């Protein structure tokens, strides 16, 4: 055995050389891995071995370039040197894959003459998720082996394919049971049978029949999903190059486009987000050995839209759920909605009809809260009323077994006050799901003053199990997400009274990259949420709209009027009249507001509030705020989230504008966060700020 670098060693099994990579946690292609791979190839080729296997220790094959190296100057050797050594080797080179061969990792495997993998292995080019494209020849080699259609799909979605699919499309040559033994056996067979030393770069057969129209059709197909992102289009251009140019010219095109993306802010924002999502799982002060409670059965109180959606998350991963409603009718209605959601997914091919039955079978309905006695985690999802929630938690305290975690899905209320209704405030925690709860990835986990480490570990852990992106925060009205949203709402409402049409405000935020603006969002949620006909006094535009029977999308009219069949929204002159009449009565002068002002007045109060949330210690880190906004509200990931975006705009410029609006418009939400002033003075940034 020869240790070549800190992470790569060369071993021999008789006549087969084994280059072992061991660079935990994911065998990323750090410079010492590239060096080791190059040295290993050189030594193995000049040794007596007749074939060479590249294989990894640990949980996975190479999962890509080392992203932490992207921010520094390139360190030699280049990956291409090692890839050339593999591809041009005079002996058969076999890549042995387990775990995930991703990005640069798959690009290395594509330079072997043959590839074998275990049945659980996966293969993907996820660079697009980092705002990039595969920059080590992958854009030219993958289409040559899978054909252009599948390469386009894999490169623009970033999603991996299974070993079975890889075998079927020729990406791998064999599925083996025992990785090392199987790879060695394949290597010996290659030698014995004098298999050709196949270089993917020399193949063109799979590209020959690519119809020229394929690319524009593909672009049209992904346009909605990829709106605003640069990288998907760049990936498409690379596959076009693979089809239209020879390998070397295609490679050159790939390199130009890769460098372009690498220089831009989108890829920086998306790489930042990659680490932000992972950082959010790390809770300072939470002992590493904190054992989360085992959630063998989950209870959900409330079978409404939220409760039903929450229950689905658990059933989807095989955890039985007890869902409790006030009466049989409401329960039946709620369960019927859950079933129809599953059936819709099945009709689209997302799950099988057996899955529908299995999942429904895991959900048992009841009208007796006593049935929560067996549950390990109970999530309350009734409407936002503190007295109601307190009385529920008092009952849960009586019913639930010791050790059970009692969670509230409140989106704004004080967890400490809810916890005070129980004799075990340490077991009480907020788990704020976003609507629709079975779809949205965001989960705000809200710790009260007395919430235990176990409750935190359980909520964060189960959040991951059910496929959410949990972020821990502290108690304040609206937590991280909604508290910032409220500030945007204040200015949006003011601007429509000053003369900006709701549709214009919405359009500007849509163009910024958000899925919708505040008025379309209100219509979607329902204008009457929290509205009470008895006490309504026409004191806001929203109240006036509700009073005139406009309740949002659900009854076909809100800030917009909705087409009954297509649900397309159109601005309505009646709404404009209501707004103008109200503004007149309030004595608010009308004026032209520029697009830039609309954008600033929507987004800067959010940045300011985010900074206040940070300085109060409600969020642990600036990047957590970004994770909440990207996953909870569809903030465009390619800008990194509100904190990263403000840093990109320039915190000092943002601060100047906030102060400008504080002096011209006034209001507590414009009083500048001292943290922003401090960071401007120190040259710091919101996105890297940590409490």
Catalytic residue annotation: 107, 127
Work out whether strand 122-124 and strand 161-162 pair parallel, antiparallel, or are unpaired.
Answer: antiparallel
Q: How far is the CB of 252 from ligand 3H9 (least distance, A)?
A: 15
Q: Residue 68 interacts with ligand 3H9 (CB under 6 A)?
A: yes
- 470 pairs with which residues across the strands? 443
Q: How far is the CB of 258 from ligand 3H9 (least distance, A)?
A: 7
Q: Residue 26 interacts with ligand 3H9 (CB under 6 A)?
A: yes
Candidate segments 22-30, 32-40, 335-343, 651-659, binder of ligand 3H9 by CB under 6 A: 22-30
CA gap 520, 513 in Å, rounded? 14
Candidate segments 24-32, 182-190, 429-437, 584-592, binder of ligand 3H9 by CB under 6 A: 24-32
Helical residues (DSSP H) of 348-381, grouped into ranges? 353-362
Q: Nearest to residue 519, comparing CAs of 577, 570, 567?
A: 570
Closer CB to ligand 3H9, 419 or 620, in the complex: 620
Is 325 within 8 Å of 335 (Cβ atoms)? Answer: no
Is 369 within 8 Å of 325 (Cβ atoms)? Answer: no
Closer CB to ligand 3H9, 92 or 134, in the complex: 134
For every residue of 600-669, DSSP letters joined together read HHHHHHHHHHHHHHHHTTSBSBHHHHHHHHHHHH---GGGT-HHHHHHHH-HHHHHHHHHHHHHHT--GG
Encode burial over 221-235: b for 16+ CB neighbours within 10 A, e otherwise: ebeeebeebbbbebb
Residues 16, 52, 66, 626: which binds ligand 3H9 (CB under 6 A)?
66
CA gap 597, 499 in Å, rounded? 13
Closer CB to ligand 3H9, 270 or 451, in the complex: 270
Give, as ranges, the residues between 405 and 434 that touch ligand 3H9 (CB under 6 A). Answer: none
Q: How far is the CB of 154 from ligand 3H9 (least distance, A)?
A: 13
State the binding string over 262-301 for ligand 3H9 (x if CB under 6 A, else -): -------------x--x-----------------------
Q: Residue 63 interacts with ligand 3H9 (CB under 6 A)?
A: yes
Q: Residue 104 interacts with ligand 3H9 (CB under 6 A)?
A: yes
Q: Residue 25 interacts with ligand 3H9 (CB under 6 A)?
A: yes
With contacts defined by CB under 6 A, how many residues of the chain interact with ligand 3H9? 25
Helix (H, G, I), strand (E, B) or coil at 105: helix
Q: Residue 622 interacts with ligand 3H9 (CB under 6 A)?
A: no
Q: How far is the CB of 205 from ligand 3H9 (least distance, A)?
A: 25
Q: How far is CA 272 from CA 130, 261, 267, 440, 624, in A?
A: 9, 14, 8, 21, 11
Residues 19, 52, 94, 130: which binds ligand 3H9 (CB under 6 A)?
130
Q: Nearest to residue 399, comparing CAs of 367, 364, 370?
A: 370
Q: How far is the CB of 344 from ligand 3H9 (least distance, A)?
A: 29
Candidate segments 124-132, 167-175, 209-217, 456-464, binder of ligand 3H9 by CB under 6 A: 124-132
CA gap 595, 272 in Å, rounded? 28
Residues 21, 37, 54, 79: which binds ligand 3H9 (CB under 6 A)?
79
Q: Which two tokens stand for residue 212?
A: 């020229």
Q: Residue 143 interacts with ligand 3H9 (CB under 6 A)?
A: no
CA gap 137, 252 in Å, rounded? 9
The H or E element containing residue 315 is: helix 305-316
Torsion over CA: 126, 127, 133, 135 (sign): negative
Q: Residue 64 interacts with ligand 3H9 (CB under 6 A)?
A: yes
Residues 39, 127, 240, 600: which binds ligand 3H9 (CB under 6 A)?
127
Residues 36, 92, 126, 463: which binds ligand 3H9 (CB under 6 A)?
126
Residues 36, 131, 134, 474: which binds ligand 3H9 (CB under 6 A)?
134
Candidate segments 56-64, 247-255, 431-439, 492-500, binder of ligand 3H9 by CB under 6 A: 56-64
Going by the DSSP 8-state scheme, the letter that residue 71 receives in this structure is T
Is 206 within 8 Å of 147 (Cβ atoms)? Answer: yes
Residues 4, 82, 86, 102: which binds ligand 3H9 (CB under 6 A)?
102
Candidate segments 57-65, 217-225, 309-317, 436-444, binder of ligand 3H9 by CB under 6 A: 57-65
Q: How many residues does the chain have?
A: 691
Give, as ranges, the residues between 579 and 598 that touch ligand 3H9 (CB under 6 A). Answer: none
Q: How far is the CB of 69 from ligand 3H9 (least distance, A)?
A: 8
**Residues whose CB falls within 8 Å of the CB of residue 611, separated by 6 or more in sequence, listed in order:** 673, 675, 676, 679, 686
Residue 689's CB: how many other CB atoms inside 10 A?
22
For the chain, give me the number of helices (H) and strands (E)?
27, 20
Q: How far is the CB of 27 from ligand 3H9 (least distance, A)?
A: 9
Q: How far is the CB of 623 from ligand 3H9 (least distance, A)?
A: 12
Rounded to a whole number, what is the distance in angstroms from the first to the last CA of the chain?
A: 47
Closer CB to ligand 3H9, 160 or 632, in the complex: 160
Residues 23, 100, 411, 673: which binds ligand 3H9 (CB under 6 A)?
100
Radius of gyration of the chain (CA): 28
Closer CB to ligand 3H9, 64 or 489, in the complex: 64
- Contact set with ligand 3H9 (CB under 6 A): 25-26, 28, 60, 63-68, 79, 100, 102-104, 107, 126-127, 130, 134-136, 138, 275, 278
């Amino acid at each position: 055995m020869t240790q070549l670098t800190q992470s790569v060693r060369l071993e021999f099994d008789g006549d087969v050389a084994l280059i072992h990579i061991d660079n935990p946690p994911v065998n990323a292609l750090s410079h010492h891995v590239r060096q080791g791979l190059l040295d290993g190839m050189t030594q193995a080729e000049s040794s007596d071995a007749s074939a060479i296997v590249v294989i990894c220790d640990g949980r996975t094959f190479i999962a890509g370039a080392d992203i932490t190296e992207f921010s520094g100057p390139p360190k030699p050797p280049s990956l291409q040197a090692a890839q050339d050594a593999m591809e041009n080797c005079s002996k058969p080179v076999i890549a042995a894959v387990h775990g995930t061969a991703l990005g640069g990792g798959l690009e290395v495997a594509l330079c072997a003459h043959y590839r074998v993998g275990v049945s659980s292995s996966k293969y993907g080019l996820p660079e697009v998720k980092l705002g990039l494209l595969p920059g080590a020849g992958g854009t030219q080699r993958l289409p040559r082996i899978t054909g252009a259609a599948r390469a386009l799909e894999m490169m623009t979605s970033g999603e991996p394919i299974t070993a079975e699919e890889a075998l079927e499309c020729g990406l791998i040559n064999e599925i083996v049971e025992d990785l090392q033994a199987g790879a060695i056996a394949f290597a010996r067979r290659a030698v014995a049978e004098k298999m050709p030393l196949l270089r993917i770069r020399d193949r063109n057969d799979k590209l020959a029949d690519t119809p020229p129209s394929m690319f524009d059709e593909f672009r049209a197909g992904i346009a909605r999903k990829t709106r605003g992102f640069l990288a998907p289009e760049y990936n498409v251009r690379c596959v076009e190059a693979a089809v239209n140019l020879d390998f070397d010219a295609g490679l050159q095109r790939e390199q130009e486009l890769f460098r372009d993306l690498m220089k831009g802010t989108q890829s920086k924002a998306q790489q930042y987000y990659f680490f932000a999502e992972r950082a959010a799982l790390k809770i300072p002060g939470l002992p590493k050995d904190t054992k989360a409670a085992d959630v063998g059965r989950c209870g959900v109180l409330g079978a409404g839209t939220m409760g039903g959606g929450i229950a689905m998350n658990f059933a989807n991963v095989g955890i039985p759920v007890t869902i409790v409603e006030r009466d049989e009718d409401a329960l039946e209605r709620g369960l019927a909605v859950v079933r129809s959601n599953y059936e819709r997914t099945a009709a689209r091919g997302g799950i099988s009809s057996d899955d529908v039955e299995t999942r429904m079978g895991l959900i048992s309905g009841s009208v007796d809260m006593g049935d929560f006695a067996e549950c390990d985690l109970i999530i309350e999802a009734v409407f936002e009323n503190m007295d109601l929630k307190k009385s529920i938690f008092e009952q849960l305290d009586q019913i639930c077994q010791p050790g059970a975690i009692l969670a509230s899905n409140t989106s704004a209320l004080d967890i400490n006050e809810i916890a005070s209704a129980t004799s075990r405030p340490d077991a009480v925690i907020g788990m704020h799901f976003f609507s629709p709860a079975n779809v949205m990835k965001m989960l705000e986990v809200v710790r009260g003053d007395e919430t235990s480490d176990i409750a935190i570990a359980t909520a964060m852990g189960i959040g991951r199990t059910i496929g959410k992106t949990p972020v821990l925060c502290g108690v304040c009205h609206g937590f991280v997400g909604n508290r910032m949203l409220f500030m945007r709402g204040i200015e949006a409402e003011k601007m429509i009274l000053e003369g900006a049409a709701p549709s214009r405000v919405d359009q500007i935020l849509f163009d910024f990259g958000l899925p919708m603006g505040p008025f379309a969002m209100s219509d979607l949620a329902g204008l009457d949420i929290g509205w009470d006909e008895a006490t309504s006094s026409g004191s806001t535009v929203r109240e006036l709209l509700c009073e005139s029977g406009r309740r949002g999308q659900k009854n076909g009219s809100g800030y917009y009027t909705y087409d009954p069949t297509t649900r397309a929204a159109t601005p309505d002159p009646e709404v404009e009249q209501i707004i103008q009449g109200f503004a007149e009565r309030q004595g608010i002068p009308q004026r032209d507001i520029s697009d830039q002002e609309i954008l600033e007045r929507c987004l800067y109060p959010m940045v300011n509030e985010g900074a206040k949330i940070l300085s109060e210690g409600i969020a642990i880190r600036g990047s957590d705020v970004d994770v909440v906004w990207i996953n909870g509200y569809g903030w465009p990931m390619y800008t990194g989230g509100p904190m990263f975006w403000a840093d990109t705009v320039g915190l000092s410029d943002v601060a100047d504008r906030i102060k400008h609006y504080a002096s011209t418009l006034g209001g507590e939400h414009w009083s500048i966060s001292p943290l922003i002033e401090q960071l401007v003075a120190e040259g710091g940034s919101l996105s890297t700020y940590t409490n």
